[in-house]
Chains A and B, each alone.
Chain A
Amino acid sequence: MSSILLVTAVFFFLKSRELPKDSKPDHPYSPQTNEGPSSVVTKSSVEVAHGDIPEEAMTSHQSDEKNIRCQSLRDIYRNSREVKANNTHSTRFYNLHKKIDGATYRLRFFYKDGAEGEAPTYLLYKEDNNGDEHIVESKSYKKGSRYQEIENTPGETTYTEEGLTAGKSKELFLHYVNNKLEMLQGNLAEGTGIEKNFIDCKF
């Protein structure tokens, strides 16, 4: 009798550990998996169901004009290293993924908001076996000791990402993934009219 109960208890325990069946409607996006070492990491894997999203009313002329402007801006701001070398800029955030002895760490820098200003903040994450990142250290104003340790330990960089503000009044925001320009938005110093002064480009 006790064996049957034990087997029953184990059976139900194992049953409760099964992954849930996917009975809900298809999700419009799917999580990315990191499999194997990679020196080129694909950008955000959010899939856009273009077929489901009606186009916003925009004349084809405006759309072409915008595309031309975006492409010419892309040529100017194509490379983040060149932007930093040639322009007044501010690094607003960066992310770096690094593999060390089989473990993947993520170094993140960004500005946290304060009532009177902003606090530079340094986070260190470590990925678990599922590729999910967990914060292991967080420090404001200065890098933490573990952050510095990982930063200074040789390893394989598998991903970089940064956000810069550039331009005369630093109102242009540039987003790079693996040194490639992904997005540009904000106000341009040049422009022949008010509406032409701000731009929002995705590449």
Chain B
Amino acid sequence: MKFFATALILLSVFASFKANAVIWEDTQVWSQEFEEKYSQWHQSNSVREAMFTNAGSPFYGVNPDCADAAYAMRVVFAYENKLPFAMKSPSGGKPLTNRSIKYDSKPEVKRVVALINEIGSSVGTENLAAFDTYPSALKAIKPGTLFMYKMKARFGKFIRHTYIIKDINPVGTFDVIYSTQANKEQRLPLIRRREREFENLPFNPWGFKKFRWPEHIGVSIDKIPAELGASTEQYSLASSLGQKGFFRLVKKTVASVTESAGQRVARSFKAACTESQARIDYVNQALKHLQTTGNKCMDYESFDAYSTPARDGDLKELYLKLKSAYEDTITLGETSTIDPQVLAFTEYIFKAKAVGSVKDELLAACPIAYRPGVLIDLQTLWSRIGKGALSSHPNDIVEVRWGEKTSPKTKCKRWY
């Protein structure tokens, strides 16, 4: 009897681990209908910030940065719908597909997690842009489409990023979800920004992109069926219209309602507030790192991870966008469309004109608590940004990082 029980136990253990098991079996094929479903899936709660960090999630353990998150979405959807997945092999040779047997010692969903993490270790946005996606026509932009950019940073470096469009707001702004290298290092949830506008002009192979079907890997975009929306139009439009004109056209194309001038000001205010508060985390990550190293000067690698020149530049741009939205509203004579409180906040930020209790109200609406016992508002931060007082050097003390003091500045090397 004991032997029978043991044999049964052994039998059930062996049966759960199939040798030469593929990552998952695909029994469906990609189609327009599945692409529509892919788009709707992005809009659903299945795609959310904690989808890889919630311990109860089947995909717990996936740890992506920006491009990895995009690949992860495609893999997860393909797996859940028994569709094939393929990408150009990161290390060369045959494409990496769901039919690989390299993880066959693991249970099925863990094989999926292993695939996503291996992709994440092996590629970045350049692979995604050059090989595994195709450019989209503007009219074909929908949830699930990616926006990818490459921009020149200082000293000949480039910064690249991938946003996943989770949804499109009626006014034509984008609800995006994404990850970053810092997120990956700290195993944080995905980041969500609900009213994003893009700024970086597309050029081939960047911009609005969609994933290729397996049979389209390595194929010229001329061969991709027209109904999938493959088109290089965004590149010629970007070139001829310039940044403002191009993104105005994008907004007009994807919007279902016209945004009022007042709505634009409110949205810009919210974006400036969100990113001002997000800077607290970026700076604190550097401070935390310094605590572990005894305040040693950062080497190139650490400087790269913890400095914030590009992000500080982006933050300044958001304030300038708010200012521009406010000034456009005045020019158009549409100040009555702005929420009175937002109008008061904006005038206080850019004209330092404090009326009544607007100072206290702004502080309550968007507090920036960057160190214990200190709380500033957006007007104070803008004033410091305007003077160039913010420091992006991760070895500077917190007061200098935030422009509260301009000395003592670090003597550690500024790598760029």
Contacts and interface: CB of A to CB of B under 8 A. Distances in A.
B203 A187 contact: yes
A49 B307 CA distance: 48
Given A113-B66, A116-B311, A202 B218 contact: yes
Interface in A100-156: 106, 108, 110-119, 123, 125, 128, 130, 132-135, 138, 140-141
Nearest to B30: A28
5 interchain residue pairs of minimum CB distance: A95-B92, A132-B102, A9-B7, A32-B94, A28-B215
B19 interface: yes
B241 to A, nearest CB: 10
A74 interface: no
B190 to A, nearest CB: 15
Interface in B220-258: 220-226, 230, 232, 235-236, 239-240
Contacts of A110: 90, 122-124, 126-127
Contacts of A58: 222
Given A24-B27, A186-B205, 18 more contacts: A31-B94, A46-B214, A49-B215, A55-B223, A56-B230, A97-B92, A110-B124, A111-B126, A112-B124, A113-B160, A115-B182, A117-B157, A117-B158, A125-B91, A133-B91, A138-B121, A141-B300, A185-B130
Contact of A202 (B3, B99, B219, B236): B219
A27 to B, nearest CB: 7
A71 to B, nearest CB: 14
Contact of A12 (B11, B65, B230): B11
Interface string B146-164: 0000000100011111000
B91 A132 contact: no
Interface centre among B124, B153, B203, B416 (most CB of A within 10 A): B124
A175 B122 CA distance: 17
B270 to A, nearest CB: 22
Given A95-B91, A97-B92, A202-B219, A29 B122 contact: no
A119 B300 CA distance: 10
Contacts of A135: 118, 121-122
B304 A114 contact: yes
Interface in B26-55: 26-27, 29
B101 A113 contact: no
B223 A16 contact: no
Contacts of A19: 20
B317 interface: no
Contact of B225 (A24, A53, A199): A53
Contacts of B25: 20, 24
A95 B309 CA distance: 32
Nearest to B161: A113
A113 B67 contact: yes
Contacts of A47: 215
Interface residues on A, range: 35 or more
Given A27-B84, A93-B126, A130 B101 contact: yes
B191 to A, nearest CB: 11
Given A28-B215, A48-B215, A130-B101, A93 B3 contact: no
A6 interface: yes
B124 A113 contact: yes
Nearest to B117: A135
8 contacts: A24-B25, A25-B29, A44-B88, A46-B214, A115-B311, A118-B159, A123-B91, A130-B101
Interface residues of B, number: 83
Nearest to B204: A198
B200 interface: no
A29 B14 contact: no
A28 B214 contact: yes
A117 B239 contact: no
Contacts, number: 228
A44 B91 contact: no
B314 to A, nearest CB: 10
A118 B124 contact: yes
A16 B216 CA distance: 35
Contacts of B100: 132
Contacts of B216: 48, 53
B374 interface: no
B97 interface: yes
A21 to B, nearest CB: 11
B232 to A, nearest CB: 7
Interface in B110-127: 118, 121-127
B95 to A, nearest CB: 6
A171 B203 contact: yes
B3 A5 contact: yes
A194 interface: yes
A56 B222 contact: yes
A65 to B, nearest CB: 12
Interface string A1-41: 01001101100110011011000110111011010000001
Nearest to B8: A9
Contacts of A198: 203-204, 232, 235-236
A55 B219 CA distance: 12
A79 interface: no
A5 B122 contact: no
A93 B126 CA distance: 9
A76 interface: no
A44 B94 contact: yes
Interface string B173-185: 0000000111000
A101 to B, nearest CB: 20
Contact of A116 (B3, B27, B308): B308
B52 to A, nearest CB: 18
